[in-house]
Amino acid sequence: MRFIKQSWCAWMVFSVMVLGMTTALSANAQSKPMKHAKRIQLATGAALGPDGRLWVVGLNEQGQMFMQSSPVQALGQWTAPVILNTQQDEMAADGESRPKMAFGPNGWAVVTYTQPLPKPYTGFVRMLRSADGGQTFSAPFTVHQDRQEITHRFESILFDAQGNLHTLWIDKRDMPPKGAGPKYIGAAVYGNVSKDGGATFGPDYKLADHSCECCRIAMSNTPDGKVAAVWRHVFGEQTRDHAFAVLPGASAVASSSAQGQSKSPVRSTFDDWQINACPHHGPGLVANTSQTGFHMVWFGIRKQDGQDVPGVRYARLNANGEPLLSTVKALPDARAEHADVLAHKQRVVVVWRSSEGSTSTLKAWVSDNEGQSFSVKVLGQTQGPNDHPRLVQRAEKMLVVWRDTKEIKVYDVSQ
């Protein structure tokens, strides 16, 4: 494995109540240490471009959105930060809500973020578009058609094999006014599709009712060129497990009959966690490229001998998103949190952060037989606040991006 670093500074703390401990998030994009005089939102998105360059996007100490890239041949040799035009939007860049970046065909690249609105827990999903591979970007625009001051947050983006851009987000447009109508549990997952790299969008469509309100949505390309997603879902009154769905294609979304409709998603985890709150702890998903189905990681609490046992778990899903129960494994770390997963052919990599006091350790669980067996590797360790680890991939290239208060670290876990 290879380790590359750049000097960083940040300060951010995110309390994970379900673990009974405080976990720290941090990020920044400065080449030298800076003062910790104010709290800065610095969670960062990362992506590998078509030419193999590693890109990161986040907020600097002035709250401006910046972008940097590094060549795959010399990871860590960053270009100078470029400030993107966000028109003085307020931007969410912490924990499960962070800027994202995705590359498509024809030189298309997009960056998204949530713009918080004045009312608590409300926001717009905003996007910047590039037609020259990320060299220049448009001013930001709102992705969804609904413009109410309600929840449109926790977006995820991915291009499918045909070059269509899929955007999903958590949405509360179906919540009835207080005291009116039946109780609506949780939120909903809404989405849209762009055929031209974000220049125009099809109509908003509802993928599913009753999602959890504040967990990230995981998306993955499928072997047949589509896009699949998993998210924390509310089953029944307050069972917070996970749901799976393959996203509709651009032609299906354009059909007026698809608007306002949602299908019952496939249940992909069975922890039966009873909680009337959002754990702020989303899943990870990736297709199994050598066979049908998917690899998934998630956090949950399940009953064992009458006790609530929290933990991050891994499992394989079949092509329909149903779990292969014989493959369910608990990660070998009781303090594991915010795990992610990637795979290429036989290789499966799970990464997570493990925090104890002020010390956080970055770990990887690596399999070279499609998840039948794993070995643990310690990738790094830091003191104080730090960000969630991010896994990024293009074909066989798999990288882990992790930030603490001093530096950004990149680990190559491809082999």
Interval 12-34: pLDDT, tens: 223 333 333 333 333 333 333 33
Reported as a pLDDT band with limits 50, 70 and 90, residue 351 is very high
Number of domains in the chain: 1
Q: What is the share, in percent, of the chain residues with pLDDT greater than 90? A: 73
CA pair distance 61, 39, nearest whole angstrom: 9
- How does residue 2 score in pLDDT terms, banded at 50, 70 and 90? very low
Within 212-306, strands assigned E span 218-221, 227-235, 239-246, 266-267, 284-287, 294-304
Task: Give CA–CA dist 402/25, Å, rounded.
Answer: 10
Helix (H, G, I), strand (E, B) or coil at 251: helix
The CATH code of the domain that includes 159 is 2.120.10.10
User: What span, in angstroms and rounded, lies between the C-alpha atoms of 69 and 46?
Assistant: 9
SS (H, E, C) 267-290: ECCCCCCECCCCCCCCCEEEECCC
Q: Does the pLDDT of residue 258 top 60, yes or no?
A: no
Q: What's at 186, amino acid-wise? A: G
More confident residue, 3 or 171: 171
**How high is the pLDDT of residue 262?**
66
Mean pLDDT to the nearest integer, 69-97: 91
- Cα(108)–Cα(26) distance, rounded to whole angstroms? 29
**Kind and range of the H or E element at 252?**
helix 250-254
Mean local confidence (pLDDT), 191-199: 98
Residue 36, pLDDT above cutoff 80: no
The neighbour count for residue 263, using CB atoms within 10 Å, is 11
- Which single residue is written with the structure tokens 């609904």? 146
Range of 135's domain? 3-412
Q: What is the pLDDT of residue 20?
A: 36
Predicted confidence (pLDDT) at residue 38 exceeds the cutoff of 60: no
- Is the pLDDT at 99 greater than 60? The verdict is yes
What contacts 24+ positions apart, CB below 8 Å, involve 14-22?
Answer: 14/94, 14/95, 14/280, 16/279, 16/280, 16/281, 16/337, 17/277, 17/279, 18/275, 18/279, 18/281, 18/299, 18/301, 18/310, 19/310, 19/335, 19/337, 21/335, 21/355
Global pTM exceeds 0.85: yes
Mean pLDDT of the chain: 88
pLDDT at 22: 33
Sheet with 123-130: list strands edge to edge: 100-103, 109-116, 123-130, 141-142
